[in-house]
A and B are shown apart, each in its own frame.
Chain A
């Protein structure tokens, strides 16, 4: 709207527009920096405290006087810490594989088959997804503890993942809706059965969706506190990182430096994985919220 005269000096309107654009740029970036401080400073303070001495962690200092990197080896040497890592990897790793394998055929059927009750099935999937885990925990705990005698292990958390996790089914189905039907029809015309179509045509195209589901499920297990609290709390050998971390604070209740070092050790893998798999995460979040 504000044009510059060719070869002449800029008009007042053009200058005003330019000034507004510069002010806008400064304003947006100032706000962004302020917001960045809010999001980043907690990480920075946690890191700095994790490197302080035991005494200094109890003061109001913000920066370590001596940088005690050995805090991290002290945490790793804490009895149990490495067991919690192993248990977490078992729960998250095995659980993720089972979830992906069992959720793919369900999501495929819900996205691509036409059958009576499809809408109802989708509504039930969403209801399951929205169900707080506490709602069904009484009978579930009684079943695993009394009937199966598996309290104090992670199996009550891992086994259910072999039966199509609702959130993963939902996320994968949203993804598969975006795969054009023409590809499937072409495969069927070529004489592929549904299983072959799924394996040879759909799965290769669904890789980003599967990656998103796997990541979300892995971090769900990594972060899960309630499940291990219910099933594993009586047996420290079955604790996971999330559950162990909180009791770690209990055992070292004055040592904020060690607690923060342990906190860093629990956060770090999640953040590392994020940098390798940014797109899958963002795509997953978008799919749950927008496309449908």
Chain B
């Protein structure tokens, strides 16, 4: 009797769980599992979207790795961005967070001002930066030149286009600032007071008290930053298109990565090879490379911050 009710109770609660999870279970199947499996399938097919797909073994794979001349530059750029852009974002975000929590008067105003650019739509922010850094008419170079400083070509110079994108990323640092502020405010105050009594310098206090306390958040910021960089698409694409003077809109093929492939990232390749060259098979290969890299970093993220998944599991 008891076992019977227990079992039916358990079955009811299992049904209830499935019912509550059902929107996501369906979504997981339709928008994650099914397309991933199909991507693997397409990666071994020759398919242009018109004629039916034909199996062609590993031809797409060898094409992407050996002949498709945009693949390696895109991978190199992505790694550059992972190191430099993510590094700058974490250091700058932490710096702004440390600054904001020290502002005694007007702290709220400054915090809001620092946060606002994070909200600017990426296309709008990119257009604004291409204009601001325009070597001919942009105000930034006007100011630099009037100060007697060198005025680089920014988005039109392959050596400066990625630094320009990094500046744009630093402008939108608001999310990291908020996360770092929350972490910094959680560091116990008594430890600072004790260290001050012991005569520790400001740098010593940061090194021995602040940093150990916030290191999980720093790691979180690094790993999520790397994952974001794996998805970096709109800003480099729009910057390259607008700076090169390409007329936007439909039906126009363009070589992404202007100038000289310097703003090319992996996600742009999927669009280029799939939707401009109509080679869905090779696009699937690039998509799978992107998937493998993203999942690698996601696993690191989940390993290092099991707090994400939560206590009690």
Contacts and interface: CB of A to CB of B under 8 A. Distances in A.
Interface of A: 1, 25, 28-29, 31-32, 35-36, 38-40, 42-43, 45-46, 49, 57-60, 62, 102-103, 105-106, 108-110, 113, 115, 118-119, 121-128, 130-143, 146, 160, 162-166, 169, 177, 194, 219, 222-223, 225-226, 229-230, 233-234, 236, 241-243, 245-251, 253, 256, 259-260, 263, 266-267, 270-271, 274, 278, 281-282, 285-286, 288-290, 292
B178 A286 contact: yes
A82 to B, nearest CB: 17
A59 B137 contact: yes
20 contacts: A36-B114, A42-B128, A43-B116, A45-B128, A62-B142, A102-B24, A109-B20, A127-B295, A127-B298, A130-B227, A131-B291, A134-B270, A136-B35, A163-B31, A166-B24, A234-B250, A246-B127, A249-B248, A288-B179, A292-B310
* Size bracket of the B interface: 35 or more
B39 A138 contact: yes
Contacts of B115: 281-282
A96 to B, nearest CB: 15
Nearest to A112: B20
Which secondary structure characterizes the binding site on chain A? helix
A229 B106 CA distance: 42
B110 A226 contact: no
B233 interface: yes
Contacts of A253: 245, 247
Nearest to A273: B119
Given A25-B104, A194-B20, A126 B309 contact: yes
Interface string B216-236: 010011001001001101100
A45 B132 contact: yes
B248 A247 contact: yes
Contact of B250 (A223, A236, A267): A236
Interface in B103-131: 103-106, 110, 112-117, 119-125, 127-129, 131
A253 to B, nearest CB: 6
Contact of B113 (A40, A62, A105, A163): A40
A292 to B, nearest CB: 4
Contacts of A35: 96, 99, 110, 114
B211 interface: no
A225 B114 contact: no
Interface in B8-54: 13-14, 16-17, 19-21, 23-24, 26-28, 30-32, 34-36, 38-39, 42, 49
Contact of A285 (B105, B179, B291): B179
B258 interface: no
Interface of B: 13-14, 16-17, 19-21, 23-24, 26-28, 30-32, 34-36, 38-39, 42, 49, 96, 99-100, 102-106, 110, 112-117, 119-125, 127-129, 131-132, 134, 137, 139, 142, 171, 174-175, 178-179, 182-183, 186, 196-197, 217, 220-221, 224, 227, 230-231, 233-234, 237-238, 241-242, 245-251, 266-267, 270-271, 274-275, 280, 283-284, 287-288, 290-291, 294-295, 297-298, 301-302, 305, 307-310, 313
A222 B123 CA distance: 10
Contacts of A45: 128, 131-132, 139
Given A113-B17, A163-B26, A290-B182, A135 B294 contact: yes
Contact of A292 (B175, B241, B307): B307
A270 B120 CA distance: 7
Nearest to B247: A250
Contact of A132 (B171, B174, B267): B267
A38 B171 contact: yes
A249 to B, nearest CB: 5
Nearest to B274: A138
Contacts of A162: 23
A137 B124 contact: no
A163 B99 contact: no
A124 B27 CA distance: 12
A289 B217 contact: yes
Nearest to B41: A139
Contacts of A32: 99-100, 103, 106, 110
B21 A225 contact: no
Contacts of B298: 126-127, 130
Given A29-B103, A139-B38, A286 B117 contact: no
Contacts of B128: 42, 45-46, 260, 263
Given A136-B32, A251-B248, A282-B178, 14 more contacts: A28-B103, A103-B24, A113-B13, A131-B32, A131-B294, A134-B233, A163-B23, A165-B27, A166-B24, A226-B234, A249-B127, A270-B120, A270-B121, A286-B179
Contacts of B114: 35-36, 39
A253 B266 CA distance: 27
Contact of B35 (A102, A140, A245): A140
B233 A274 contact: no
Contact of B301 (A36, A106, A130): A130
B23 A263 contact: no
A122 B309 contact: yes
Contacts of A125: 24
B153 to A, nearest CB: 15
B51 to A, nearest CB: 13
